[in-house]
Homo-oligomer: A and B are copies of this chain.
């Protein structure tokens, strides 16, 4: 029996989330095309491997051939010197959507980030229509990507879900991640909903599990049908209650971006 898509492209396949997704997305397409600048290992069954620098426009155009849908997890996923971010996340994004447009791809999931909003306070509730408040050059590059994909939807009808991913790790490494935790299963379900909803237009959604504390109000993306099943509550014992409040001038506790707030931008 044929699968929903003929070919899905997964960029950033060598990254942390890329490796996590590689097997999980196989049910969705006859062929999963895996791409990264780094080595993703040999192609398995139902896989194609294409090493590709997103900053190389011709290579990206070739990469897109025959693709039905794109899961864009490529690029740089942390604070870095701006030149690198610009090549990977800005030029790479522009090349990607040019290729998507030329090849007639209809649906994209863009791995955006909560760091587009990292300068909201930890006492704020953020939703998809509030102005961006990036917490570094990485976050700024993700705002660029959301804005670029908005344009491609408004002008050419290319549908994108910008998934502002929280903290997708096996378990929370600090109290902040109790709030931003996204389980692997919930990530996969969010992607599944984003790919198979009948219409998504240009949707900005928050990729986060059903944790007790919330910073993000995701009701504007409930048309996707994503309902988180997991919660960070199971890890509560790791972070016992404490009355040792962080100092008032510790911006990593005051603003949502956490540690990212201190790193960027990196001047060289």
Contacts and interface: CB of A to CB of B under 8 A. Distances in A.
B241 A198 contact: no
Given A82-B98, A125-B219, 16 more contacts: A5-B243, A6-B243, A68-B243, A82-B91, A86-B94, A102-B267, A121-B201, A122-B198, A123-B199, A125-B222, A132-B150, A140-B144, A143-B144, A175-B198, A176-B198, A196-B243
B123 A94 contact: no
Interface residues of A, number: 85
B198 A245 contact: yes
Interface in A89-139: 90-91, 94, 98, 102, 106-107, 119, 121-125, 128-137, 139
A168 interface: no
Contacts of A70: none
Contacts of A62: none
A78 to B, nearest CB: 16
A119 B198 contact: no
A94 B137 contact: yes
A241 B101 CA distance: 24
Given A4-B241, A28-B241, A222 B227 contact: no
A174 to B, nearest CB: 10
A263 B229 CA distance: 39
Interface string A158-202: 010000000000000001101100000000000011011111110
Interface of A: 4-6, 28-29, 68-69, 82, 86, 90-91, 94, 98, 102, 106-107, 119, 121-125, 128-137, 139-140, 143-144, 147-148, 150-151, 154-155, 157, 159, 175-176, 178-179, 192-193, 195-201, 203, 211-215, 217, 219-220, 222-227, 240-243, 245-246, 248, 253-255, 261, 265, 267
A151 B119 contact: yes
A28 B242 CA distance: 9
- Copies of this chain present in the complex amount to 6
Contacts of A147: 132, 134, 140, 143-144, 147
Contacts of A151: 119, 133-137, 139-140
A175 to B, nearest CB: 6
Contacts of A193: 213
A11 to B, nearest CB: 18
Contacts of A255: 154
Contacts of A198: 122, 175-176, 245-246, 253
Nearest to A147: B143
